[in-house]
Amino acid sequence: MTGRDGLLEALRAADAADADAVAALQRASFDDQWSMEAVTGLLSGPANLSLVAEAQGRLVGFLIGQCVVDTAEVLAVAVDPGARRAGWGGALLTGFERVARASGAERVILDVAADNAAALALYAGRGYQTVARRDRYYAIGRAHPVDALVMAKNLPI
């Protein structure tokens, strides 16, 4: 890989055939683990706009997202722990914004745990702003529930 600019070319649309690899990476990245059935359902739904990132034939990241009418939503984004801070998370978000815009989305929304410094920095650095807060939203796998921030970004026309 020559640099971060080339990462977008390593993204492709994800479908149900990716469910196994995406579920494994999801389990490695989140306390709240999704079943294969849940991941398969998301990747094969009519609103699916998910992406995967591949390097040397291996899945290094995914973004599960969907678009309904004019609003796209990021349900999860994760990068293999060994591949973080190399631009993949940013590339997945940029790639998603592009396919969402092409599908008619005018904005992107997402939820993020208020204590997730890496994700907050990723989103804030790409123009997402906090529009709401869900009290004690994340509880699974945590000693104390953590609020979710709802963040949004309007997509350029």
- In this structure, are residues 1 and 7 in contact, taking their beta carbons and an 8 Å threshold? yes
Give the Cα separation of 129 and 112 in Å (integer): 11
122: contact with ligand COA by CB under 6 A: yes
119: contact with ligand COA by CB under 6 A: yes
CB of 157 to ligand COA, least distance (A): 25
Contacting residue, 78, 148, 149, 151, with ligand COA by CB under 6 A: 78
**Helix crossing, 88-102 with 117-125: angle to 10°?**
50
77: contact with ligand COA by CB under 6 A: yes
Comparing every residue's Cβ against ligand COA, the nearest one is 89
DSSP state of 2: -
CB of 110 to ligand COA, least distance (A): 7
Helix ranges restricted to H, 45-142: 88-102, 117-125
Structure tokens at 80: 């293999």
**Interface contacts to ligand COA, rule CB under 6 A:** 29, 76-79, 84-90, 112, 116-119, 121-122, 125
